[in-house]
Amino acid sequence: MDNMLVSSWFHLHSTVPLSYVQPPESRPGTASVISGKSIPVVDLGSHDHAETLLQVLRASEEYGFFQVVNHGVSKELMDDTMNIFKEFHGMPELEKISESSKDPNGSCRLYTSREINNKDFVQYWRDTLRHICPPSGEFMEFWPQKPSRYREIVAKYTQEMRALGLKILELICEGLGLDPKYCSGGLSESPLLLGHHYPPCPQPSLTLGTPKHRDPNLVTILFQENDINALQVFKDGEWIVVEPIPYAFVVNIGLLLQIISNGRLIGAEHRVVTNSGTARTTVAYFIRPTKESIIEPAKPLTCSGAPPIYKPIAFDDFLRIFMTKGPDIETFL
């Protein structure tokens, strides 16, 4: 069962299988959850550039999370994208596996729980389709062809995400006092798309859809459904619910931007809880560097007396260490 997609068998169980039961200290409810507090919301359509810059930087420093509205991505494309991922995850298991297994090198793949899976570790209540989506269009021939419009819709969506992501990065870099284009080029040339699907869970208090973690990238742009509170951000010892705003995107700072900013920005910890009544689908766009890119504190931020607190590392090495050390990688760096 652990090797099967959760969406293939969740409806057959009235209890959570033992391999999905979290240890007591990791279960939802072991730390207080604040529902009245929210992460910042930034209006990217504002004509006050200085104020927008200040809001983005402050949110990135204090929360590592914010939502953006008036971002320029059409509602029609957002609806089409969410629907195509729902349709994909609703297909029969063997068909989904076939459609996501075309590249022997694994540029596109479908997995359950997490990408690096081990039966010795607790499992997570989700299925994920992931594939790289570089701006060159390379590897698109390995994307699913079913549902029929998948490639057409997702190609348009990733183009819009790239434009939005670069705009957000330019605001962040300018706010840090760097060249606004600092993160353009190799630092953002290898993006990744993940379509997560969280089926209904019979015992949400015992398991998680995604564990407490930080993202191994520069920035994540998340599109989540409007009516399900599942994403939570850890701040000051408490969990803050990221309540969905219709047609907004959730932006979170990754570990790489924490390194580049020399610790000024927060690669915030977050998790996803499950619910018993409704399936949840999300689409996450990871802005990532090329494998050979060197990740290090930006020199303009360390030449004025502030010593670098992280050592340089190639992104390929960073990923390898992240997959083995997980939360301990910051100490290693």
Predicted pLDDT at 12: 85
Query: Which pairing describes strands 65-69 and 41-43: parallel, antiparallel, or unpaired?
Result: parallel
Predicted pLDDT at 42: 98
> Would you say 189 and 150 are in contact if contact means Cβ atoms under 8 Å apart?
no
The rounded distance, in Å, linking the Cα atoms of 61 and 149 is 39
Q: What is the pLDDT along the chain (333 residues), one digit of tens a residue?
A: 445 899 999 988 889 999 999 999 899 976 667 666 899 999 999 999 999 999 999 999 999 999 999 999 999 999 999 999 999 999 999 999 999 999 999 999 999 987 664 555 899 999 999 999 999 889 999 999 999 999 999 999 999 999 999 999 999 999 999 999 999 989 999 999 999 999 999 999 999 999 999 999 999 999 998 788 999 999 998 999 999 999 999 999 999 999 999 999 999 999 999 999 999 999 999 999 999 999 999 999 987 778 999 999 999 999 988 888 765 666 666
Close Cβ partners of 306 (under 8 Å, ≥ 6 residues apart)? 262
The rounded distance, in Å, linking the Cα atoms of 251 and 125 is 23
Q: In CATH, what is the architecture of 36-114+129-327? A: Sandwich (2.60)
The rounded distance, in Å, linking the Cα atoms of 179 and 176 is 9
pTM over 0.85: yes
Predicted pLDDT at 35: 65
Predicted pLDDT at 121: 80
